[in-house]
Chains A and B, each alone.
Chain A
């Protein structure tokens, strides 16, 4: 049972445009969500997180939006840069639950 889903395995965007990566979850207990970026043969790098008490969190070019009623979150990257090309994982957790549940990842390719 995949509790966190990233339905788009890949996304291609031109440099300077907005990248929107989507993530859906099924477990209503989740109250903390994170996005990680991963290059091949490297560990994931933490990007940004959001708690369920918020619906938006912004950090530089990265903004995460949370729609609790739809059990959906998205990561917006604007403007996109070629260096953003990587695999992006969303992850979810809830208070008292030590583990993170990861989605399957979306490969982002930003072309010059």
Chain B
């Protein structure tokens, strides 16, 4: 149990385009999902917390108009990187609060975004 999927696993796009990444909890309902970004050889950086049916809460320094988050259902959250630039190239990972303890998060496999 507690499986989280992400789609796509990797995407390459041109500068200026928008990219949508989906995060799904496959076997449990997730009222809260999180979006992280990981730079090479660095830790996970929390970008935003997404609660179902409400606006996402963004961490300091994260542009909410650039990284649009929608959590329309208890099993799906999406992250849209708008007007992508090469500096947005990164590894994006989502997680969902799961059944094994209220504070345990289960992570998706991540999405490698490359902006040309």
Contact = CB atoms under 8 A, between A and B. Distances in A.
Contacts of A44: 44, 93, 107
A32 B44 contact: no
B49 A98 contact: yes
Interface string B81-109: 00000000001011101001101111111
A103 B109 contact: no
Interface residues of B, number: 26
B110 A102 contact: no
B101 A36 contact: no
A41 B32 contact: no
Contact of A49 (B2, B104, B110): B104
Contact of A98 (B2, B32, B42, B109): B32
A43 B108 contact: yes
Interface of B: 2, 4, 6, 32, 34, 42-44, 46, 49, 91, 93-95, 97, 100-101, 103-110, 112
